[in-house]
Amino acid sequence: MTLTDVGSAASGGGAVESHSARRRPPRRRLAVTIIPWLFLLPALLLFLVFKYVPMAEGIRLSLFEVRPFLGDLWVGLDNYARVLGDERFHNALNNTLILAIGQTAGAMLIGFGLALLLEGTARSLWFVRSAVFLPVVAATAVVGEIWRLLYYPAEGGFLNSLLSWVGLGPSTFLDHPDTSLWSVMAVGIWKGAPYDMVILLAGLAGIDRQLYESAAIDGCTTWQRIRYITLPALRPAITILLTLASIRGLRVFTEVYVLTGGGPAGSTDVWMTRVFSLGFETSELGVASAGSVVLFLVTLLLTLGVQLLRRRREA
């Protein structure tokens, strides 16, 4: 049977199926429409109760001065004006962007290197991949506590001991404003790189090996094969990683809070630690809600921008 025959048969089958669908009784058509939604109903209820209702409540609170037991006071957009005019929020936004860009770029570069090293069909590689992936499944709070010990700012600290072997250090790492943000960034890269590696490994598995063989016959170097074959083929995976990493970078909180709590002197204060401080330490829930809504809008716009850019390049 030729491809034309297969196509004809397929289109004929579709016509028969379409014809039979039109002949279904109304009750059966109604059941076909409703049953999938019944299966989705538990998940939709969970999303509604634990995600969308709190989100709507946060947007409502952002328009009020929250006064527990006294009744909320309508303030309109004043909370948003405070957020946009607050110097500490500006500093937090600057730190958040530096951290997001650094962690995204660092994790993708290291993840790409790991993916190239661990790509293959050998059975022994699954153990190495699992070991490399462990930081992703470990709880962020636990990872933060471990790195606090590694960053111990004295000569007896683990990392300072390693630095002393090459005649460097000791470094204060998290305890100095000049080094604290970079130390937090290193932890984020360490935790995010294995996740990026898995996505890139999936992309590498879909590349036709004959392309590499043809390039090798033509005398292409390793860098030329990566540049002209690997990177273009990984573009969809890289787009997904950029979107996820950007969202992850803008919403970073746990590792910063565990490692430094936003200090010293606000040098690692990011947007979410500032929101947390306002909401749960100074009880300014209205301003904290406004800060959360602003972050949500920035994240949404960034995600839409990446998707539009991707579709424009693919068109």
pLDDT at 5: 46
* Higher per-residue confidence, 310 vs 308: 308
Q: Indicate whether 166 belongs to any domain.
A: yes
pLDDT at 291: 92
Does the structure show a pLDDT above 70 at 215? Answer: yes
Mean pLDDT, rounded, of the chain = 84
Q: Indicate whether 61 belongs to any domain.
A: no
DSSP per residue over 111-163, as a string?
A: HHHHHHHH-S--TTHHHHHHHHHHHHHS-HHHHHHHHHHHT-SSTTSHHHHHH
Range of the domain at 286: 77-314
- Per-residue pLDDT band for 114 (boundaries 50, 70, 90) equals very high
Q: Indicate whether 168 belongs to any domain.
A: yes
* pLDDT tens per residue across span 55-94: 999 999 999 998 888 888 898 899 999 988 889 889 999 9
Q: Indicate whether 298 belongs to any domain.
A: yes
Strand partners, 73: 65
Q: Indicate whether 142 belongs to any domain.
A: yes
Q: Indicate whether 119 belongs to any domain.
A: yes
> In the structure encoding, which two tokens stand for residue 165, read together?
């072997």
Q: Indicate whether 48 belongs to any domain.
A: no
Number of domains in the chain: 1
Please report, for the domain that includes residue 216, its CATH number: 1.10.3720.10
Residue 287 is which amino acid? V
Q: Any idea what the Cα angle at residue 147 is, between residues 185 and 138, rounded to 5°?
A: 90
Q: Any idea what the Cα angle at residue 259 is, between residues 162 and 158, rounded to 5°?
A: 15
Q: Indicate whether 17 belongs to any domain.
A: no
